[in-house]
Chain A
């Protein structure tokens, strides 16, 4: 399992776009938790991914408007 922490501005649709980057690949969410964190929001995702998907997802998220920071933890 891999954990991803994504900081984002809580504008309309941003969280949904973060999640659709996962769902469009037919992946299941093991865990999703989104909470305000200071002046931004953070979503914690736990996914069963392989290394190539990790890089792809991180690149997709970083390219999403209003995503501020993406961190991956094995």
Chain B
């Protein structure tokens, strides 16, 4: 049974409902209005009870698409995403999405059907131990054993998924539980109980922070996803304006800091700006706000910020000192600790660092404002033109690869949920289904899905979902006919041995888009123009962005184009490559 405090005796009369109806009622009670899923034998009873549930179900064309779409919904709103799949292969198809949600702290509740209780453990048709398979990649899971457990389990599922550091939860429901009937209260009676991982809000360590700030000469702030997960971007911006220290962002922190702020250094890490990486290497005091210091950010962790004392603002105790010893941990939700920091500011010493701060901020402004001059790649120029034409509150959903890093480097997101990508897991095929989830969550927004030709084909079937619901997603394929990022590594580190990265036999994506009933167009690099872009690029992009129906645009560009700066794997941030040798 769920580990709940004893509930008061419930004397109310509840209607007799099937387990399936109870599931939908519980989801409604949690504020769910949209779920993503794909039916199958073990969940037919659930789908049979869908009508009249008050919940919109989005039928995707693959369960992985459902998981990524639910993630897109959650990432763009902060609300819990819900994905439903049947037993066996339906459940296993959710795994990549679940792992992605775990790595990027996305609140996700996955509901899977299971074979009937009497068959569990017999290797029945479409039976898989999905509870066991997901043990390492969910915050919590449950194989429901009786209809009586359902309300409490579902209440606990949503609580766990959304509390502390958000993450995925899996609820596995045998088909006989869905068919059973009982008179049960909805929502469930589960009440959270304090455990070892509940940190509360300890007293703010102002005195220790004062000592560190007072002695710092090269302080820098690093902002991560924790700010947006806490909904603390306004508090952050106010604090940074008052601190007036150089500040950089991880890929998941993009949009938390205003790109116009004079102290903004850009993105840091493997493909971060030269200025941000240099400052991180030279800093003597690093204030980490809601970032977990992933290896893509630190480079070689043993040589990351070698002279820095680290102050780590974090909600998940497992992330403290994971890669580097810290000088001070400020535990708690940033929604609480940032205001505490701001309140303490008048009593805190300000680091004496003006000449250094002015110099690095000036270098950053020059680097961020540069268009690369005459050496800018056509793909980068194209993305620059696209981003310049996007509305201020647009959302970019990027897949994984070179296009992702170019987009992260060039897009000036205005809000923390304006740039969405698979960061920690780096799952190709993420963007197309995630974008449809974002569009459903934010029907008024301009949602641009940017994918490479490799990743686009991994969930290409979700074009059908986009078309069915006429979602005005703008799908851009940066088509260089290679697995570009892998090719880059092969070029730089494996003597151009392009093993198994050639996609020159790609199908005609424009014809595929048209076959799905989606308006599709192609642009290709024009070497005759100064920019390498066709003269009609502006008009094509205008039509693309203004359309109220789904759009597909293929931009064909040369394959041997690389993302720089680049910190080679295992290298320190100071060893970044700035251009090809």
User: Residues of A at under 8 Å CB distance from B?
Assistant: 9, 11-13, 16-17, 20, 24, 55-56, 59-70
Contacts and interface: CB of A to CB of B under 8 A. Distances in A.
Given A13-B135, A59-B317, A65-B195, 12 more contacts: A9-B195, A12-B131, A12-B141, A13-B141, A16-B132, A62-B197, A63-B165, A63-B316, A63-B317, A64-B196, A69-B196, A70-B196
B139 interface: yes
A64 B197 contact: yes
B143 interface: yes
A55 B321 contact: yes
B322 A65 contact: no
A12 B136 CA distance: 13
Given A11-B3, A12-B131, A62 B136 contact: no
Contact of B318 (A13, A16, A60, A66): A60
Bin the interface of chain B by size. 20 to 34
B238 to A, nearest CB: 30
28 contacts: A9-B3, A11-B3, A12-B141, A13-B131, A13-B140, A13-B141, A13-B142, A16-B132, A17-B135, A20-B135, A20-B136, A24-B136, A55-B321, A59-B317, A59-B320, A59-B322, A60-B318, A61-B196, A62-B196, A63-B165, A63-B316, A64-B196, A64-B197, A66-B3, A66-B140, A66-B195, A67-B196, A68-B195
Contacts of A60: 318
A22 B460 CA distance: 38
Contacts of A66: 3, 140, 195
A58 to B, nearest CB: 9
B160 interface: yes
Interface string B231-253: 00000000000000000000000
Interface in B130-170: 131-132, 135-136, 139-143, 160, 165
The binding surface of chain A is classed by DSSP as mixed
A70 B197 CA distance: 11
A60 B165 CA distance: 13
B372 interface: no
A65 B318 contact: no
B306 interface: no
B41 interface: no
Contacts, number: 56
Contacts of B135: 13, 16-17, 20
B349 interface: no
A13 B142 CA distance: 8
Interface of B: 2-3, 131-132, 135-136, 139-143, 160, 165, 195-197, 316-322
Contacts of B141: 12-13
Contact of A65 (B132, B139, B317, B321): B139
A12 B320 contact: no
Contacts of B139: 65
A33 to B, nearest CB: 20
A65 B320 contact: no
Contacts of A55: 321
Contacts of A24: 136
A67 B197 contact: yes
Contact of B136 (A9, A17, A69): A17
Contact of A62 (B142, B143, B317): B317
A68 B136 contact: no
Contacts of A20: 135-136
Contact of B2 (A11, A61, A69, A70): A11
Contacts of A70: 196
Contacts of B140: 13, 65-66
A59 B314 CA distance: 13
A68 B322 CA distance: 21
Contacts of A63: 165, 197, 316-318
Contacts of B316: 63
A20 B139 CA distance: 13
A73 B174 CA distance: 42
A24 B141 CA distance: 19
Nearest to A40: B3
A64 B141 CA distance: 12
Listed residue (A11, A61, A67) with the most chain B CB atoms within 10 angstroms of its CB: A11
Instruction: Indicate the member of B3, B136, B140, B196 with the most A CB atoms within 10 Å.
Output: B196
Contacts of A64: 196-197
Nearest to A24: B136
A59 B196 CA distance: 10
A52 B165 CA distance: 23
Contact of B143 (A12, A59, A61): A12
Contacts of A9: 3, 195
A13 B316 CA distance: 20
Across the A-B interface, give the 3 residue pairs with the lowest CB-CB distance, nearest first. A63-B318, A59-B318, A62-B196
A48 to B, nearest CB: 21
